[in-house]
Copies of this chain bind each other. A is one copy, B any other.
Amino acid sequence: MCLPLCLKKMRGLSRRGFLASSVLAGGGVLLAQPPKSSAGDSRRPGEGVRFSRVVDLTHRLTVDFPTGSGQPQLKLERVSARPPDRWNIFRWVVHEHTGTHLDAPLHCSVKDSADLIPAERLVGLVAIVDIRAKAAANADVELTVDDLKQWESQHGQIAAGGIVAMCSGWDAHVRTAKFRNAGSDGALHTPGFHREAVDFLLAEREVAGIVVDTLSLDRGLSHDFPVHERWLGANRWGLECVANLGELPPAGATMVVGAPKIAGASGGPSRVFALV
Question: What residues of chain A have their CB less than 8 Å away from a CB belonging to chain B?
Answer: 1-5, 7-19, 29, 31-33, 35-36, 38, 40-41, 43, 45-56, 58-63, 74, 76, 79, 82, 86-97, 99-100, 106-109, 115, 118-120, 122-123, 125, 155-157, 159-160, 204-206, 225, 249, 251-254, 256-266, 268-273, 275
A159 and B271 contacting across the interface, CB-CB below 8 Å: no
Q: 3 closest pairs, A vs B, by CB?
A: A258-B258, A56-B119, A258-B271
A160, B271: Cα distance in complex, Å: 23
B79 touches A95 (CB 8 A): yes
How many angstroms from the CA of A122 to the CA of B271 in the assembled complex? 11
Query: Which of B59, B160, B272 contacts A5 (CB under 8 A)?
Result: B160
Instruction: Given A254-B48, A273-B256, decide whether A97 and B89 contact each other with a Cβ distance below 8 A.
Output: yes
Task: Judge whether A120 and B49 touch: CB under 8 Å.
Answer: no
Asked if B33 and A2 sit within 8 Å, CB to CB, the answer is yes
Q: Contacts A115-B60, A125-B48 hold; do A11 and B1 have CB atoms under 8 A apart?
A: no
Quote the shortest CB–CB distance from A185 to chain B (angstroms): 20
